[in-house]
Chain A
Amino acid sequence: MAYALYPPEFRIERDRDRCIACQVCVRQCANDGHIYDSEDDSISSDESRCVGCHRCGTLCPTGAITIRETPMHFKANGNWTARALRDIYKQAETGGVLLTGMGCDRSYPIYFDRILLNASQVTNPSIDPLREPMELRTFLGSKPDRIELDPSVTGIRLRTNLAPQLVLETPILFSAMSYGSISYNACWALARAAKAEGTFYNTGEGGLHRDFYPYGENTIVQVASGRFGVHADYLHVAAAIEIKIGQGAKPGIGGHLPGEKVSDQISQTRMIPVGTDALSPAPHHDIYSIEDLRQLIFALKEATRYSKPVGVKIAAVHNVAPIASGIVRAGADMVAIDGLRGGTGAAPTTIRDNVGIPIELALAAVDSRLREEGIRHRASIIAAGGFRNSADVTKAIALGADAVYIGTGALVAMGCHLCQKCYTGKCNWGIATQDPYLTKRLNPNIAERRLGNLLRGWSLEIKEMLGGMGINAIESLRGNREHLRGVGMTEAELKILGIKSAGEAW
């Protein structure tokens, strides 16, 4: 049995004065990190199993447990960080690809933290959202750039036939998280919260469980490279379809659901055998060029009789602007761009942390390019990838997004502590697992409530910020970069974002 050559990442500290040996921690740790000794009625811990999910510390009735980063430090080294060393030790032991979960955690610049918003004073009054209407309603879909009217004796009628639109009461949607990567209860909570708040959730590439068909009006179904769960009913029940070409967490490669997480229900929903790894291929094997994508978009539109928007999701990479332009010209009604910080249930660590670009730059580049080409109105842009709060959402809309997908944020609302071990299938919070012992831990009633609270709280904050800028309709902020200023950015960054430096007036 190989001996681990490095100290565990975490240190479990148990305050013996507070520990009453009630064994809640023992029962709750899915990694068997705590052990009860009946002989002396005490509990000890095995740090090598701790993943830092905080389940034990949170549920301990006396607050006896603290999880710290291990105090056993490697010698300080600016180049060979503890993380770099650990990765090599692990690979030397296993010879495999290092896997991880959730989004990139490296300290690349976060442009949202360098962008500041405006407020109106004196010359332009701010608006109080508690007293005046403040409109967040958003429409996603292809729009004409002008109206065609038909005057008649009874009044003017609309000659334009609008393409199908999704109507959102708030510009925030739940991002694609497959049934398989997350549990049944988690999917159910997302569907219920989306319906209650008048927005949408995305099935991800795991297909749609039959039990969730009643939520179809608030569901965006994904057609990914593995085509898991894609059949006629799946397309018909949905409000919109999204072709997944890539995702921010792993640009260039396909999705991955480890065999441990493929249970009976998953197998049925995805249409694959129980226990097999669900590996989506890197490209769609029928999309090798832009014209092939156009063919698929229109095949889906034909199959659904042009009754619902068909969008395309891509990862933010270097050439995201011309790629997005091609996608819009190929007939997509929506383009979802997933930035570097996008999350996942399982991805190779090197790809998650080194491939892709931040969403702020990608979004600004795509919005500017589409406007330059005069095609911005043909598709709605949805931005995704690590949105942490309502200010990030507001800034993204000002940069040009029509709406924003939140994934990690939604999971955190449900209880996730970002231990990044989703791929093990042992999520202690009952979110990223199929183990029936663990899935019970996510009460869908509680989760739905928390997701609804998050959306409502953020929506109120967005309204406050809009009012502060003297705006009472979100369409007046969308693409309005005059309300943004940058701090601590280079000329090049300011130019790509299309914003001025803080201190510059109009």
Chain B
Amino acid sequence: MKRIYVHEEYCIGCRLCEIHCLVQHSRSKKILKAFKEEFPRAVSRVLVEEHGYLSFALQCRHCEEAPCLEACITGAMYRDKRTEAVLCNEEKCVGCWMCIMVCPFGVIKRDLESNKVGSKCDLCLGEEMPVCVQNCPNEALTFEERTET
């Protein structure tokens, strides 16, 4: 399946990926409204990890054997048949945070301000390409299919 991969040698730590992810998952999907008028503000599903001059964007890896899928008590976590992405049906989520505890990458967030659900990358379903990849100014993120070597 197509996943988002990061080239850390090109990541400049600007965090524009976080900004655009937030906007994409906001109600209005417009940057000024999303930041200035929406309360509570939407949550970005990608986080840029930094240490010294090394930085890279990290989001859900949509694992083939996903621990969050196993751990979810309500079945809110499910795998989309077409894209094979692991998605969260926020209506069913009760905010138990088991998925966060078992995620080996720590990429699920608690959306505390609104419905108290787990938020994670959904590959911007419905878009041709995830917005973080589209908007990275240094082409540090790619959306591609990689076969196991």
Contact = CB atoms under 8 A, between A and B. Distances in A.
A426 to B, nearest CB: 14
Interface string A406-449: 00000000000000000000000010000011001101011000
Which 4 interchain pairs have the tightest Cβ spacing? A20-B35, A437-B53, A436-B53, A443-B10
Interface in A1-38: 17-18, 20-24, 27-28
Interface string B1-29: 00000000111111110011000000000
Q: Size class of B's contact patch? A: 20 to 34
A476 interface: no
A61 B19 contact: yes
Interface of A: 17-18, 20-24, 27-28, 59, 61-62, 430, 436-437, 440-441, 443, 445-446
Contacts of A430: 12
B140 interface: yes
A20 B31 contact: yes
Most buried by A among B14, B20, B138: B14
B106 interface: no
A17 B20 CA distance: 18
Nearest to A435: B53
Contacts of A18: 32
B135 to A, nearest CB: 8
B5 to A, nearest CB: 14
Contact of A441 (B12, B16, B32): B12
A24 B19 contact: yes
Nearest to A64: B32
Contacts of A445: 139
B36 A20 contact: yes
Contact of B137 (A22, A23, A59, A436): A59
Given A62-B32, A440-B53, A24 B139 contact: no
Nearest to B12: A441
Given A62-B32, A436-B53, A28 B20 contact: no
Contact of B20 (A23, A61, A437): A61
A385 B91 CA distance: 65
Contacts of A21: 35
Contact of B10 (A22, A23, A436, A440): A440
B12 A22 contact: no
Nearest to A437: B53
Nearest to A446: B139
Interface string B106-138: 000000000000000000000000000001011
Contacts of B139: 443, 445-446
